[in-house]
Each structure stands twice: as structure tokens, then as C-alpha cells.
């Protein structure tokens, strides 16, 4: 068995060390650098001061509470859409699926702004309906519930995509067999579909929870006005008051977030244990439930949810972009295209940000999927302490708020690289590397769940017939996991396109991203410009998705995640 | 599979084609985007040989960015145009600034620039009170914001986000009869402190709040555009920052940086600020529309050296009152 890691494993010897090397560069090195900075900063005392700070504990509490509630909401919405769209004969599946994935592209801070505009005293929507609350009414979204609600809305598509990937691979045979034996739809769903889709649900829940703990855009806009700080916003405010102790304090706060996330993931691993269903994948031969009369309940309900997730915030944004000044009611008299004019023809930052964000997103998604296909293969085939440790190391950067990752990479790449003598700091490359680190876990998730459902027998048979690793990869593994890989690319692309917190710290002159541009415009009081730019982004994203939709016929099946 | 890899290769190629344009001059500023863009555009029109890249953020955040860069040994900025002289004084003490004696200084009061030429004030930005026109009370003094009529209706910028807000808090804290007790009274009255001046403008203009402490030019400019807001200079007086410009000692483009300093101090540059709705710092300039006569605006004094010394303590005090850290 020379050349193999160990007997019984069919991996080439270079594979696992290669994955470990990548993880060392992307996860361990930056975190170690931050830890070193933290320890150095705290060497002269200060741990007790940080730990005794009541703000820390209240932020920890709010982080956990909002993330849990948000996860529950995203699960409810995401699962409802995934089950109905993947398993029933509801009408307009294509449109529903397309639209449901769309909210993910709206950057979280824009979602929050749009919802605030939708529901506050100046809401053009409520004003038009004559039900706007009076001056000085408290904004209901400035609360734990508000933050959790928007977490749910923001992350529901993540759950949907994670679960859908699993449901796509669900073979129809089991369901057929049960049907022929006379089981009712409910019985089939409860006894066959639900248990088989649980790994997807749990994976989606973990992804959502981790995203919630690291989210910055939503608590920044909804929490800060009512003094509800989560750990990411607390860290951000620590940076705004930069002192010699900041790195130390931030290192400690980051450690707490890491503990919360790792705990969440440990619970996920416990839940997934013993739920390893190896299915022989006839991807696409899926079960279908006849909705019958239920469609009169489901269809309007799904469209209504979509209206609130998508249409209403979008129109609130559009209204915000078309008013001449903030607080002016929108009528045919007051309507003005000034904001669009300024954004399109005056602000140099617009073009820069579009080019930067699109290139970064494409580069991140492409580089990652090449690595994560191999990583998911290696990690699912090896089930030992080392591979579990590597999985956790991959998760940590994603579970940390972007601001922390930003700091880590500043520390790592601030001084010129040894040997090459190039400084990455202040260039677009440092943002790219930080993105690779941060979204590794996102890219890996759908692939891991795909490999979990892949029957190893196929590959073993090929190996016994003498097929080499690359041959097996090309002929068996890649075709079977193509849908998950496609989902992985798209999800990373979309998330990276709207990323704000990492780039908030790493951007420099000329490397602004769209997230930075929007946040900055809004922050400087030009919310009309921020809204106008957001509208352009949403339109661009719709255009991109339509482009993919048109290309779908030419791409391997399942690459476009919202299509059956 | 082949088609997919061609597709991803194209995407990857798109990434490589992003060229980092080498800018001659990098400006870090806390001006709102439109104003920063207008300033840079007019400078570049006057100096076609210089190309400016600019970055905008609240003063404390810009400083955090700069500090992280300095810590990294690679400061990107050449020129700073940020809220207050206290911050630049701190940089000067740390030896981070370049001294430059601009010929334009002759047209400025001596107390508006550093005697050694480390920084120059460019405009006067006061912080007063704005209110939504549908508010029940017309505030005339700082004290009015602590009245029951304003309960839960007051917003102010956070000193953690805005340089002007920090100076404002430090200025009022030193006024007899106001002091930190005034800020405590406001907090007890349900006032919130978050974000920068832009956030205050938004929440008052949108009616989420009725009253706000805010920099003068924002509401005055928005009112001209039709927003339902008014601005008052409270009777106790207003705090002021002067948005100084300074050159970083680490710059590789000292010549271009000096041109920029000269330009923003020149009559043409100052007129540009005037057009944007700021009170120019240069002698003999008019005031923008919507402002009362300059001598009727009472500016409260601030001791820069004390403000500098107490910054950390004051931020702590403020955070302690408003529960933000």
C-alpha cells in the first residue's frame, strides 16, 4: 500500500498534506498572528479589565440570543421553501426559486436600511397607505426581535440552498416503494423524506447560526441606535477608539466569538453523528408530492413571504433613491434622478467598486471551489481526530466577524512578504486572501454534504479496476458532486459580492468594494446616493442571475442552484 | 465540464485584469462623499498633472485605519483632511506630520493654523441643533433638549464615530452649567448617541427622532433641497471644528501634497467649500446661504491641549453614560 496515507484509504499521499498547508496559510497563520498580538498587548495586564467589562457580557448574550432566534427564523423560511419547491408540483417553481435566492445578494446593511425605511415614521410605503406612525415613534426593528428577524430573512436562502442540494440527491426509489405500499403523503414525508433530509437541515442551521454570530451589517444598523451591541459591533466600536490596548481586547472578544461558533458546530457534529445516509446518487430522479388543494395555501403564502423579503424592501430603496432629500415625501412633483446622476457620472468610487467587487467575488469563488472539492473529499473519507480538527480550523475564520479577519490579515501582510519583498497591504490581493480565508467554510459546506451522500462503492469499484485518483476524480467524483460545486461557487460569489466587514478594514484608496461604498455613502449622510447605488447593485445581480439562467442549459446539471 | 472550466477561467482572468492604478496622491478625508469628490475634482481640474485617489470615513475610523497602517509600517495616505486640529496635534506630537509653510497662510488668522506649518484649518464647522419641522418644540438652547417635550426624541453623533462629535462633547463638558451632567440628563431623557452626523441627519429628517445635535452644513443644505428640517445656533453657543489639512511625513509625493494644501487654502478652493455650504476659514470670504451673519455665531472655546490629554478619559465617560463602548 505504498503511496497511500493508510491502508483502506484511497487518497493519494499528497492530498491531505496539501489541504493542511492551505488551512495553515488561510486559518492558522492569521489567527496565530492575532493571538500573538493579543498576548503581547495583554502581557502588561488588562485581561481582568476586559473580562470585568459588563459590555462584553451583554454583547455575548445578545450575540447568542439573536443568532439563535435568527437561525430558527431562517430555518422555518428556508425549509418551507426548500421542501415545497424541491418536492411538490407547485406552479412557478422556477420563478419562486430564482426570487428566493435573490435576497441573499442584497448586502445585509442594505437589507437593514430598506426595512427601516419600510417601517419607520417616514416610510414611503406606509405613508402611501396612510398608516405611517407619528413623529418620534420608536422604530420596532431597533430591537433583539428586529435583528433576529432580519438575520432570518438574510440567511434563509443559505438554509434553502444547503437543504436543496441534499433534496436534489434524494432518490425517488424509497418514496416510490412507500407509495406502492399505500403510505400517505404525510407518512412518506415524515418517515422517509424528513429523516433523509435532516443532514441538510442541520448543515443549513449551522451555516445560518455561524453567519448570524459574525454578521455586522444588520446589528450595526438596527442594534447600535438602541444600544444593543453584539460582539461584532462591539469589536467595531473598539476599533473606532483605537488605543494601544485595542488589539489585545479584540483578540479576547474574537476568542469568545470563536468559542460560541465552535460550540454551535460541535452541536451540529453531534447531531449529524450516526446520520450518515449513503445514497446511490441518481441526482434528479426526485420524489414529487401532489399538492392538490393545498396549493391554495402554499402558493400565496410563499409569494407573500417573497413580497416582504424582496419587493417591499426594493421599493423602499428605490423611493429612498428618488427623493430629493431625506424626509421629503415622494410624489410626482418631488421625484428626482439626482442621486442616480451623481452616482453614475460624478462619483469615481462607483466604477471602482463595481470592478473590485465583481473581480474579488469571481476570484474567491473560483479559487475556493478548486480547493474545497479536494478538501471535502479528503475530510469525508478520513474520519479521525486530525480531519475533525482541520474542519474546525476551516470554520473558525468564517465564524469570526470580518473585522477580526481584517485585523489578522493586516498584521500578517502589513510588512513586505519575505523572499518576494512585495507588500500586499493596501492592494486588492490582501482582500482576496482574506476572502479566501473567510469563505472557505461556505464553499466547503455544500460539498461536504454532497460527499456524505455519495456512495463510496462507486469510487472503490473504479479503484479496484485500476483507475488512478485523477481519473476517478474526473469520471466519478466531479460529475456526481457538480451540483454541489456549482452551488458552492454561486453562494460564495454572491456573499463575496456583498461583503462589507472584511473590506471595511482592508480597503484602501482604489480598492473599495461595493459594501464599503454603500456603507460609506450612508455613513456620510448621503443615504439617497447609498440607496441609488444599492438599486444599481440589485439590478446588476438580477442581470447576473438571468445570465446564469440563460447559460443553465449549457452548464452541468445542478450548477445553477435555483434551477431543477 | 469543459464549458464550466472555460467559464471559471474567464472569471479568474477578469480578476487578473484589475490593475491597481498608481495614484500620485492619496487623500484621507472625513468629508461626505459628494463633497470629497467635488473637492478632488476641482483640485484635479486646476492641477491636471496630479491624480488623486481619496478615501472617506469618520475621523476616528480614518485614524484607526491610519494607525493600523502605521503599525504595519506602510501608511498609504499622503494628505489628511479631517475634522479637528486636536487629532492632527496628536499626530504632530508623534512626529507623523510634515511641516510646510504655505504662502496662502497670510490670508488666515494665526490661530487657525499651526505656527510651524504642520496643519492648516480649512473651514469652520459648528455643531448646533437641528429639528424636524413637525416637532412640537422649537429648541433655542442646549438645555431644551433635556426637557420632557424632547423625551426619547433626541439623537446625537457618537464621539467614537465622528471627530466633530468628540470635540462637541468635550466643548460642552467644559461649559459651566452644562458639563457631563448635561449629557447624563440627556441620557436620562432617552437621547441616543450612535453613528456619525449623517446618521443624525437621517433620523431627524425621517421623523424617527425630532431633535438632533449635528454639524451645521448638513441640515442647512438639506433644508434647501426641501427636507423638513431646521437648524438653530443655540444661545449658549456652538462648538466648532475647523477641518484642518496636513501632510504625512511618510509621503512620497511631498510636491503634489503641497499643491493640494495650497489649493484648499487658496481663494478658489475656499470658494468651492463655500459652494458646498461650509463656512470658509479664509479671511474676507462670504458665508454660505442660510447662515446668519458670522459675528452672530457664538463659538464656545476649547482648550486643545486639555482636550488632547483627556480624549481617552472623555470617551470612557461618554461611553459610560450612553452604554456604548
**Can you tell me the mean pLDDT for A139-165?**
87
Chain A, 34-93: which have a CB under 8 Å from a chain B CB?
Answer: 53, 55
DSSP class of A525: T
Confidence of residue A240 (pLDDT cuts 50, 70, 90): low
C-alpha to C-alpha distance for B48 and A471, rounded to whole angstroms: 59
- The SS3 assignment for A4 reads strand
Confidence of residue A2 (pLDDT cuts 50, 70, 90): very low
Mutation for B interface: A524, A556, A557, most B CBs within 10 A: A524
Cβ-Cβ contacts under 8 Å, B26 against chain A: 508-509
Closest chain A C-alpha to B59 CA, distance in angstroms: 9
DSSP states along B14-39:
HHHT------SEEEEE-S-HHHHHHH
Cβ-Cβ contacts under 8 Å, A362 against chain B: 11-12, 14-15
The per-residue pLDDT for B139 is: 94
Cβ-Cβ contacts under 8 Å, B252 against chain A: none
The per-residue pLDDT for B5 is: 47
Question: How many angstroms from the chain centroid is the CA of residue A376?
Answer: 18
**Can you tell me the mean pLDDT for A133-153?**
85
Confidence of residue B92 (pLDDT cuts 50, 70, 90): very high
C-alpha to C-alpha distance for A460 and A294, rounded to whole angstroms: 44
Closest chain B C-alpha to A139 CA, distance in angstroms: 7
DSSP class of A27: I
Q: Which domains does chain A have, with CATH numbers?
A: 10-48+338-563 (1.10.3720.10), 52-275+288-326 (1.10.3720.10)
Chain A, 346-365: which have a CB under 8 Å from a chain B CB?
Answer: 346-349, 355-356, 358-360, 362-363, 365
Confidence of residue A8 (pLDDT cuts 50, 70, 90): very low
pLDDT above 90 for A470 = no
Among residues A253, A323, A233, A196, the alpha carbon closest in space to that of A51 is found at A253
Residues B215-257 have pLDDT tens digits of: 999 999 889 888 889 999 999 999 999 999 999 999 999 999 9
**Can you tell me the mean pLDDT for B151-171?**
90
C-alpha to C-alpha distance for B168 and A332, rounded to whole angstroms: 40
Cβ-Cβ contacts under 8 Å, B60 against chain A: 240-242
pLDDT above 60 for B6 = no
Contact B23 A139 (CB under 8 A): no
DSSP states along B262-312:
HHHHSHHHHHHHHHHT-EE-STT--PPTTPPPGGGS-BPP--HHHHHHHHH
Residues 6+ apart with CB under 8 A from B280: B122, B123, B124, B270, B271, B273, B274
The per-residue pLDDT for A437 is: 92
DSSP class of A12: B
Cell numbers found for residue A169? 440527491
CATH class of segment(s) B123-238+296-320: alpha beta
CA angle A28, A33, A35 (to 5 degrees): 95
Contact B208 A121 (CB under 8 A): yes
Per CATH, the homologous superfamily of domain B22-121+241-290 is: Periplasmic binding protein-like II (3.40.190.10)
Q: Mean pLDDT of all residues in chain A?
A: 79
pLDDT above 80 for A134 = no
The per-residue pLDDT for A113 is: 78
C-alpha to C-alpha distance for B262 and A442, rounded to whole angstroms: 50
User: Among B63, B196, B222, whose Cβ lies nearest the Cβ of A326?
Assistant: B222
pLDDT above 60 for A430 = yes
Residues 6+ apart with CB under 8 A from B313: none
Q: Are strands B123-132 and B211-215 parallel, antiparallel or unpaired?
A: antiparallel
Cβ-Cβ contacts under 8 Å, A342 against chain B: 34
C-alpha to C-alpha distance for A236 and B61, rounded to whole angstroms: 10
**Can you tell me the mean pLDDT for A206-216?**
83
Cell numbers found for residue B310? 483627556
Furthest CA-CA distance within chain B: 76
Confidence of residue A10 (pLDDT cuts 50, 70, 90): low
User: Among A137, A359, A525, whose Cβ lies nearest the Cβ of B202?
Assistant: A525
* A552–chain B Cβ distance below 8 A for any pair: no
- Write phi, then psi, for A342 (nearest 5 degrees): -60, -45
Least confident of A142-156, A504-518, B16-30, B132-146: B16-30
Confidence of residue A286 (pLDDT cuts 50, 70, 90): low
Residue whose cell numbers read 433620523: B203
pLDDT above 60 for B23 = no
pLDDT above 60 for A282 = no
C-alpha to C-alpha distance for A460 and A373, rounded to whole angstroms: 18
B128: β partners: B214
Among residues A348, A345, A367, the alpha carbon closest in space to that of A356 is found at A348
B217 is in an annotated binding site: yes
pLDDT above 50 for B20 = no
The per-residue pLDDT for B180 is: 94
Considering only alpha carbons, which residue of chain B is nearest residue A334?
Answer: B226
The per-residue pLDDT for A324 is: 80
Contact A136 B207 (CB under 8 A): yes
**Can you tell me the mean pLDDT for A217-233?**
83
C-alpha to C-alpha distance for A482 and A28, rounded to whole angstroms: 29
User: Among A238, A478, A555, whose Cβ lies nearest the Cβ of B3?
Assistant: A555
Chain A, 194-223: which have a CB under 8 Å from a chain B CB?
Answer: none
Considering only alpha carbons, which residue of chain A is nearest residue B4?
Answer: A555
Closest chain A C-alpha to B207 CA, distance in angstroms: 5
Closest chain A C-alpha to B257 CA, distance in angstroms: 15
Query: Does A361 or A314 have the greater pLDDT score?
Result: A361
C-alpha to C-alpha distance for B195 and B192, rounded to whole angstroms: 10
The per-residue pLDDT for A65 is: 95
Sign of the CA dihedral with A367 first, then A373, A376, and A379 last: negative
User: Among A328, A410, A510, whose Cβ lies nearest the Cβ of B72?
Assistant: A410
C-alpha to C-alpha distance for A564 and A63, rounded to whole angstroms: 36
Contact A326 B205 (CB under 8 A): yes
In chain B, where the domains are located? 22-121+241-290, 123-238+296-320
C-alpha to C-alpha distance for A172 and B36, rounded to whole angstroms: 61
- Write phi, then psi, for A484 (nearest 5 degrees): -65, -40
* A508–chain B Cβ distance below 8 A for any pair: yes
Half-sphere exposure at residue A548, Cβ-oriented, CA atoms within 13 angstroms: 24
Contact B198 A138 (CB under 8 A): no
The per-residue pLDDT for B121 is: 94
Half-sphere exposure at residue A497, Cβ-oriented, CA atoms within 13 angstroms: 23
C-alpha to C-alpha distance for A135 and B228, rounded to whole angstroms: 12
Contact A327 B74 (CB under 8 A): no
Contact B229 A327 (CB under 8 A): yes
- The SS3 assignment for A512 reads coil
Residues 6+ apart with CB under 8 A from B80: B27, B28, B29, B62, B66, B88, B91, B245, B246, B247, B248
Residue whose cell numbers read 470635540: B167
Query: Does A404 or B288 have the greater pLDDT score?
Result: B288
Confidence of residue B271 (pLDDT cuts 50, 70, 90): very high
> Considering the entire predicted model, what is its pTM?
0.77
Least confident of A46-55, A536-545, B31-40: A46-55
Fold agreement (B22-121+241-290, B123-238+296-320): yes
Residues B174-184 have pLDDT tens digits of: 888 899 999 99
The per-residue pLDDT for A553 is: 67
Sign of the CA dihedral with A138 first, then A144, A147, and A148 last: negative
Confidence of residue B22 (pLDDT cuts 50, 70, 90): very low
The shares of helix, strand and coil residues in chain B, as percent rounded to the nearest 5, are 45, 15, 35
C-alpha to C-alpha distance for A168 and A164, rounded to whole angstroms: 6
DSSP class of A427: S
Cell numbers found for residue A227? 444600544
C-alpha to C-alpha distance for B88 and B81, rounded to whole angstroms: 10
The per-residue pLDDT for A283 is: 46
Helices A144-168 and A108-119, interaxial angle, to 10°? 130
User: Among B67, B192, B227, whose Cβ lies nearest the Cβ of A328?
Assistant: B227
**Can you tell me the mean pLDDT for A384-401?**
80
pLDDT above 60 for A314 = yes
Q: Using alpha carbons, list the distances in angstroms from residue A431 to A50, A275, A425, A550, B271.
A: 29, 38, 9, 31, 38
Cβ-Cβ contacts under 8 Å, A433 against chain B: none
Q: Mean pLDDT of all residues in chain B?
A: 86
C-alpha to C-alpha distance for B136 and B126, rounded to whole angstroms: 24
Residues A78-95 have pLDDT tens digits of: 998 888 888 777 788 888
* A119–chain B Cβ distance below 8 A for any pair: no
Residues 6+ apart with CB under 8 A from A119: A126, A139, A140, A141
Amino acid at each position: 500500500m505504498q503511496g497511500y496515507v493508510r491502508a483502506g484509504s484511497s487518497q493519494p499521499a499528497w492530498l491531505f498534506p496539501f489541504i493542511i498547508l492551505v488551512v495553515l496559510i488561510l486559518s492558522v497563520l492569521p489567527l496565530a498572528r492575532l493571538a500573538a498580538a493579543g498576548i503581547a498587548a495583554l502581557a502588561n495586564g488588562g485581561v481582568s479589565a476586559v473580562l470585568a467589562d459588563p459590555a462584553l457580557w451583554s454583547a455575548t448574550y445578545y450575540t447568542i440570543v439573536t443568532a439563535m432566534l435568527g437561525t430558527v427564523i431562517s430555518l422555518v423560511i428556508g425549509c418551507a421553501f426548500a421542501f415545497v419547491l424541491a418536492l411538490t408540483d407547485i406552479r412557478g417553481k422556477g420563478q419562486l426559486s430564482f426570487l428566493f435566492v435573490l435576497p441573499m445578494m442584497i448586502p445585509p446593511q442594505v437589507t437593514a436600511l430598506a426595512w427601516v425605511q419600510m417601517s419607520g415614521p417616514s416610510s414611503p410605503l406606509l405613508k402611501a397607505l396612510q398608516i405611517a406612525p407619528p413623529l418620534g415613534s420608536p422604530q420596532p426593528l431597533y430591537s433583539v426581535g428586529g435583528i433576529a428577524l432580519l438575520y432570518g430573512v438574510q440567511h434563509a436562502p443559505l438554509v434553502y440552498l444547503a437543504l436543496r442540494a441534499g433534496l436534489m440527491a434524494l432518490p425517488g426509489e424509497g418514496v416510490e416503494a412507500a407509495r406502492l405500499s399505500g403510505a400517505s403523503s404525510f407518512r412518506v414525508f415524515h418517515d422517509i423524506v424528513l429523516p433523509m433530509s435532516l443532514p441538510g437541515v442541520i448543515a443549513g442551521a449551522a451555516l445560518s447560526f455561524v453567519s448570524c454570530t459574525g454578521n455586522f451589517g444588520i446589528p450595526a444598523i438596527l442594534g447600535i441606535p438602541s444600544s444593543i451591541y453584539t460582539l461584532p459591533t462591539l469589536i467595531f466600536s473598539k476599533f473606532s477608539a483605537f488605543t494601544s490596548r485595542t488589539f489585545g481586547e479584540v483578540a479576547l472578544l474574537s476568542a469568545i466569538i470563536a468559542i460560541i461558533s465552535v460550540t454551535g458546530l460541535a452541536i451540529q457534529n453531534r447531531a449529524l453523528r450516526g446520520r450518515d445516509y449513503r445514497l446511490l446518487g441518481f441526482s434528479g430522479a426526485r420524489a414529487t408530492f401532489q399538492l392538490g388543494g393545498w396549493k391554495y395555501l402554499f402558493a400565496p403564502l410563499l409569494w407573500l413571504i417573497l413580497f416582504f423579503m424582496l419587493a417591499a424592501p426594493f421599493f423602499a430603496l428605490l423611493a429612498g433613491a428618488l427623493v430629493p432629500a431625506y424626509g421629503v415625501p415622494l410624489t410626482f412633483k418631488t421625484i428626482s434622478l439626482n442621486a442616480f446622476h451623481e452616482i453614475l457620472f460624478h462619483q469615481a468610487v462607483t466604477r471602482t467598486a463595481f470592478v473590485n467587487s465583481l473581480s474579488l467575488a469571481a476570484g474567491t469563488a473560483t479559487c475556493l471551489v478548486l480547493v474545497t472539492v479536494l478538501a471535502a473529499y479528503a475530510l469525508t473519507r478520513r474520519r479521525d481526530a486530525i480531519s475533525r480538527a482541520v474542519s474546525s480550523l476551516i470554520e473558525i475564520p468564517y465564524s469570526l466577524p470580518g473585522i477580526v479577519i481584517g485585523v489578522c490579515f493586516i498584521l500578517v501582510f502589513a510588512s513586505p512578504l519575505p523572499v518576494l519583498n512585495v507588500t500586499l497591504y493596501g492592494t486588492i490581493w490582501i482582500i482576496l486572501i482574506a476572502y479566501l480565508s473567510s469563505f472557505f467554510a461556505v464553499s466547503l459546506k455544500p460539498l461536504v454534504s454532497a460527499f456524505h451522500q455519495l456512495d463510496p462503492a462507486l469510487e472503490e469499484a473504479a479503484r479496484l479496476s485500476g483507475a488512478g485518483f485523477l481519473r476517478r476524480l474526473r469520471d466519478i467524483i466531479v460529475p456526481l458532486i457538480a451540483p454541489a460545486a456549482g452551488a458552492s461557487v454561486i453562494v460564495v460569489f454572491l456573499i463575496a459580492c456583498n461583503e462589507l466587514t472584511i473590506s471595511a478594514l482592508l480597503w484602501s484608496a482604489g480598492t473599495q468594494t461595493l459594501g464599503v461604498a454603500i456603507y460609506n455613502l450612508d455613513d456620510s449622510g448621503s443615504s439617497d446616493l447609498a440607496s441609488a447605488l444599492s438599486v444599481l447593485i440589485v439590478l446588476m445581480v438580477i442581470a447576473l442571475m438571468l445570465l446564469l439562467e440563460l447559460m443553465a442549459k449549457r452548464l452541468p446539471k445542478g450548477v445553477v442552484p435555483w434551477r431543477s | 465540464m469543459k464549458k464550466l472550466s472555460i467559464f471559471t477561467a474567464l472569471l479568474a482572468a477578469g480578476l487578473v485584469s484589475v490593475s491597481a492604478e498608481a495614484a500620485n496622491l492619496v487623500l484621507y478625508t472625513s468629508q461626505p462623499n459628494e463633497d470629497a469628490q467635488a473637492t478632488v475634482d476641482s483640485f484635479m481640474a486646476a492641477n491636471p498633472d496630479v491624480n488623486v485617489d481619496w478615501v472617506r470615513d469618520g475621523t476616528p475610523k480614518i485614524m484607526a485605519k491610519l494607525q493600523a497602517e502605521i503599525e504595519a509600517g506602510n501608511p498609504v495616505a499622503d494628505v489628511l483632511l479631517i475634522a479637528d486640529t486636536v487629532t492632527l496635534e496628536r499626530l504632530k506630537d508623534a512626529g507623523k506630520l510634515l511641516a510646510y509653510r504655505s504662502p496662502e497662510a497670510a490670508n488666515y488668522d494665526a490661530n487657525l493654523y499651526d505656527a510651524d506649518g504642520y496643519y492648516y484649518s480649512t473651514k469652520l464647522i459648528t455643531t448646533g441643533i437641528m429639528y424636524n419641522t413637525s416637532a412640537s418644540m422649537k429648541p433655542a438652547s442646549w438645555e431644551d433638549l433635556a426637557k420632557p417635550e424632547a423625551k426619547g426624541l433626541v439623537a446625537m453623533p457618537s464621539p467614537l464615530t465622528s471627530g466633530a462629535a468628540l470635540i462637541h462633547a468635550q466643548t460642552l463638558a467644559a461649559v459651566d452649567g452644562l458639563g457631563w451632567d448635561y449629557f447624563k440628563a440627556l441620557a436620562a431623557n432617552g437621547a441616543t448617541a450612535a453613528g456619525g452626523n449623517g446618521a443624525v441627519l437621517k433620523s431627524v429628517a425621517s421623523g424617527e427622532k425630532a431633535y438632533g445635535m449635528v454639524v451645521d452644513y448638513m441640515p442647512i443644505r438639506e433644508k434647501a433641497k426641501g427636507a423638513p428640517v431646521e437648524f438653530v445656533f443655540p444661545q449658549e453657543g456652538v462648538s466648532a471644528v475647523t477641518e484642518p489639512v496636513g501632510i504625512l511625513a511618510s509621503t512620497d509625493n511631498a510636491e503634489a501634497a503641497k499643491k493640494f494644501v495650497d489649493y484648499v487654502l487658496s481663494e478658489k478652493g475656499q470658494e468651492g467649500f463655500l459652494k458646498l455650504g461650509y463656512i470658509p476659514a479664509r479671511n474676507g470670504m462670504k458665508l454660505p446661504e442660510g447662515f446668519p451673519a458670522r459675528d452672530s455665531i457664538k463659538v464656545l472655546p476649547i482648550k486643545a491641549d486639555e482636550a488632547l490629554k483627556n480624549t481617552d478619559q472623555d470617551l470612557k465617560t461618554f461611553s459610560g453614560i450612553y452604554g456604548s463602548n
